[in-house]
Amino acid sequence: MSYITIEEETIRVPDHPVIPFIAGDGIGPEIWSATKQVLDAAVHKAYAGQKKIQWQEVLAGEKAFNKTGEWLPKATLETIQKAKVALKGPLTTPIGGGIRSLNVALRQDLDLFACVRPVLYFTGVPSPLKEPEKTDMVIFRENTEDVYAGIEFEKDTPEVQKLIQLLQTDFG
């Protein structure tokens, strides 16, 4: 298997990189199937068939739980860390104890601290801007702290009462 590597701050991509994917839950497998077709076609067109992605399924979510008894297996995290890249479909948030959100757990465990969203205008797309073709920006959103810290308390517990008291005392 040839994963993408980083050597002396340079990303090295083999001609047939192995890229892990999590198909996801619910509509995830359907979205994944369409995504795979688009990516495979784009790579084929860009490299005239000289390069091809070798997809490697890793488990998370309901499929992982049904097969391994874990929502987010350690092997999945290890493979993604080794591969340096992965794709993921939508995941179910387990109800009950343990992981509060698989998306938050992935972000925290893999230290995915920023959501980077390039914003460009595409000709022909309606826009409220006078000169949308001049739009060229990148939005950075912090991904692991604040609301993503995952500090949650069950309703009417002593922890909730303590937090309410703290907020009313210090900020009220």
| pLDDT score at 108 | 84
Per-residue confidence band for 142, with pLDDT thresholds at 50, 70 and 90: confident
**3-state SS assignment for residue 22:** strand
The span from the first CA to the last CA of the chain, in angstroms, equals 58
User: Starting at the edge strand that comes first in sequence, how are the strands of the sheet with 87-88 ordered?
Assistant: 54-57, 18-22, 87-88
* DSSP string for 47-82: HTTS---EEEE---SHHHHHHHS-SS-HHHHHHHHH
Per-residue confidence band for 36, with pLDDT thresholds at 50, 70 and 90: very high
Q: Mean pLDDT over residues 17-35, rounded?
A: 96
pLDDT in tens, 78-127: 999 999 999 999 998 777 666 668 888 888 889 887 888 888 888 899 99
Phi, psi of 92 (to 5 degrees): -70, 140
Using left for φ > 0, alpha for ψ between -120 and 50, and beta otherwise, residue 67 falls in alpha
3-state secondary structure 78-146: HHHHHHCCCEECCCCCCCCCCCCCHHHHHHHHCCCCEEEEEEECCCCCCCCCCCHHHCEEEEEEECCCH
Hey, which residues does 120 pair with through a beta bridge? 136
Q: Mean pLDDT over residues 39-47, rounded?
A: 97
Per-residue confidence band for 167, with pLDDT thresholds at 50, 70 and 90: confident
- Residue among 34, 155, 24, 35 at smallest CA distance from 102: 24
Average pLDDT over the chain, rounded to an integer: 88
Inform me whether the pLDDT recorded for 172 exceeds 60. no
CA 61/CA 45 separation, integer angstroms: 33
**Over the Cα atoms of the chain, what is R_g?**
21
